[in-house]
Structures are given as structure tokens and as C-alpha cells.
């Protein structure tokens, strides 16, 4: 692998942690490269808990370049995979790594890639079910997804499939860049009572913009994770991202201590959090049933 080429690829979206175990003798220090999304702030708090977990496992930060392990998430994973088939790669969150061809199987990934999947076959349907419980009269739903990201398109299809038996009509908003967001909302006027936002790097980088348009249109939104609600989203249902990044630290620890990515099973989330933003509900004039609020893992006020 050409490491100089990889570091050029990472550019400003990367961070590097040269580390040593506290008991390690002087010599070669393993280095972790983190390949993130287009905006550092989008995943900054998740990187913090990842680095904290490494410190807890006994790894100390130094200053050096060149990487021995790459940690990434979402679409940047494909860039890392294309850059090297040798350097171990850990994905902290990845939608459908098996369907995307990143791993041969979840139990035995093969190759140089392993990590944590956020795929659950029932997740899209469950999110729609929760949105319907919060808005019992829901009949028209818009779905926003990045048309250039296959896992996002697959989730979009799953939402449509789940919506039809419930008598919910869907309007698809396919975007490919930030400039597509405003026209998508303009075309949506009067055609939706709620918005389902499919999570990935493009919608994460533009979460404030999406939430602002949704608030202006008084549209309740279902989001992939709790962090989207800080930008004004109504509710989210999904795995706890900080906990996934902490677990990614355990994967890196195993690799630095000699394990091969090919032999480390891909893990899937076992707990999903329901979070509701009451401030947003009030702003758009939505009264959420009390029984539904009692089911939430967190209420933002």
C-alpha cells in the first residue's frame, strides 16, 4: 500500500493517533488513522469517546504519522477500502457491510475489514411504526435519501415497503448534494405530513439545513440517531452512536494486540434508543400522545 497516497486521500477529514501501550517497550509505535465525514463537527463527539476508550485500554497518544489501523464510518469506508487491502480497517458504524460487499460474512469478515454494523432488517419498519404512533393520523410521508449511496437507497425501499400496508402514501426526495435539499422541500409543499430522513454522510453534514426546512414547513421528522435532534429534529430511533464508537476502540485494541480483522466477527447493535425532542414538537404545534412519551428513552426539553 502507498501510505503517502492514503494520507493524501484522507486530507483534512482525518486525524491520527500514534499510540503506545503503557507497558510497551520503546520501539515502533502503532498509529491509528481516523477517516471521517466532510465536516469534523458531525462526528466529533463520537471520536472523543472512541479515543477515551483507547486510553482506558492502556494506549497513550504520541505525535507521529503513518497508520497501522484505519478507523472510519459510513461512505468514507469505501474510499479507505479502495486505498488499501493490507492495512486493517475498522468501521465504527456501517449500514449493511455484507450487502455492500465490504465483508464476506458477518461471522468471518475475511480481508482487512471488520467493525460494527448498524443494519437491522426491521429498523426501517420500526421507525415508521413509531412515527405513526406519535402521529396517529399520518397518511402522507416524505422520505429523504442520498440517491448515490446504495445502503441509503435500500433503506428508502424498506420504508416504502412498510408504508403501503399501513395506508401511508410516500413521496421520495432523492438528493445527491447539498444544493438539492432546498428544491426538494420546495417540491414537497402540501404533499407530506412528516419526513423520514435516511442517515448517512450527506444528510449528517446537512442536518441543520434539513431540520430548518422541516421546521419552517412544520414537518415532524424521524431521524437515524439522537445527535440529529440537537439540530431540531423531532424524534430518532436507532443504536447509540457513542457506545458504538467506544466498542470500535475494543476492535482496534484487539488488532493492535495481534488479532486479524478477517477473524473478528462484525457486531450488530442490540439496543436501540427512542428519543423525542419536545422543544421541536412544541415549535411545530404537534401534540404527542402521553403514552408514547412514556416509552421514550430520553426526552429533550
What pLDDT is stored for residue 26 in this prediction? 52
What's the grid cell of residue 26? 520503546
pLDDT band at 27 (very low <50, low <70, confident <90, very high): low
Q: What is the mean pLDDT of the chain?
A: 85
Digit-coded pLDDT (tens) for 28-52: 667 777 766 544 445 566 777 777 8
pLDDT at 2: 39
DSSP single-letter state for residue 122:
T
Identify the pLDDT of residue 20. Answer: 55
Answer whether 147's CB lies under 8 Å from 153's CB: yes
Give the residue from 148, 149, 171, 150 showing the smallest Cα distance to 159.
Answer: 171
Compute the average pLDDT of residues 5-27.
47
Distances (CA, A) of 173 to 176, 184, 212, 220: 10, 6, 16, 16
The pLDDT value given to residue 5: 37
Domains and CATH numbers, the chain: 3-119+241-271 (3.40.50.2300), 123-238+273-300 (3.40.50.2300)
pLDDT band at 208 (very low <50, low <70, confident <90, very high): very high
Assign 17 a pLDDT band (cuts: 50, 70, 90). low
Residue 159 CA to residue 217 CA, distance in Å, equals 22
Q: What is the pLDDT of residues 169-205, one digit of tens each?
A: 999 999 999 999 999 999 998 899 999 999 988 998 8
Q: Are 38 and 76 in contact (CB under 8 A)?
A: no
Predicted local confidence at residue 43, as pLDDT: 59
Kindly report, residue by residue over 232-291, the tens digit of the pLDDT. Answer: 999 999 998 888 989 999 999 999 999 999 999 999 888 899 999 999 999 999 999 999
3-state SS class at 112: coil
Quick one: pLDDT at residue 158? 94
Query: Which of 87, 86, 80, 83 has the alpha carbon at shortest distance from 97?
Result: 80
d(CA 286, CA 301): 14
Amino acid at each position: 500500500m502507498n501510505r503517502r497516497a492514503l494520507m493524501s486521500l484522507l486530507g483534512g477529514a482525518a486525524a491520527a493517533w500514534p499510540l503506545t501501550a503503557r507497558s510497551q517497550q520503546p520501539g515502533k509505535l502503532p498509529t491509528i488513522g481516523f477517516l471521517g465525514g466532510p465536516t469534523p463537527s458531525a462526528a466529533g463527539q463520537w471520536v472523543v469517546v472512541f479515543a477515551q476508550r483507547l486510553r482506558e485500554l492502556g494506549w497513550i497518544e504520541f505525535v507521529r504519522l503513518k497508520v497501522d489501523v484505519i478507523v472510519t464510518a459510513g461512505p468514507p469506508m469505501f474510499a479507505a477500502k479502495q486505498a488499501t487491502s493490507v492495512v486493517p480497517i475498522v468501521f465504527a458504524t456501517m449500514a449493511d457491510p455484507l450487502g455492500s460487499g465490504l465483508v464476506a460474512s458477518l461471522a468471518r469478515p475475511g480481508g482487512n475489514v471488520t467493525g460494527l454494523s448498524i443494519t437491522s432488517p426491521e429498523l426501517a419498519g420500526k421507525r415508521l411504526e413509531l412515527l405513526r404512533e406519535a402521529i396517529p393520523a399520518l397518511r402522507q410521508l416524505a422520505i429523504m435519501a442520498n440517491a448515490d449511496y446504495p445502503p441509503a437507497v435500500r433503506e428508502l425501499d424498506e420504508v416504502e415497503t412498510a408504508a403501503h400496508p399501513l395506508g401511508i402514501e410516500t413521496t421520495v426526495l432523492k438528493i445527491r448534494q447539498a444544493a438539492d435539499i432546498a428544491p426538494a422541500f420546495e417540491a414537497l409543499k402540501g404533499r407530506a405530513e412528516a419526513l423520514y430522513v435516511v442517515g448517512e454522510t450527506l444528510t449528517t453534514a446537512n442536518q441543520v439545513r434539513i431540520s430548518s426546512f422541516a421546521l419552517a414547513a412544520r414537518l415532524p421528522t424521524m431521524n437515524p440517531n439522537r445527535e440529529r435532534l440537537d439540530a431540531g429534529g423531532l424524534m430518532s430511533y436507532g443504536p447509540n452512536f457513542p457506545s458504538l464508537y467506544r466498542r470500535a476502540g475494543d476492535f482496534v485494541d484487539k488488532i493492535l494486540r495481534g488479532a486479524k480483522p478477517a477473524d473478528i466477527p462484525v457486531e450488530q447493535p442490540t439496543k436501540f434508543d427512542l428519543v423525542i425532542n419536545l422543544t421541536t414538537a412544541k415549535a411545530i404545534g404537534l401534540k404527542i400522545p402521553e403514552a408514547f412519551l412514556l416509552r421514550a428513552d430520553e426526552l429533550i426539553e
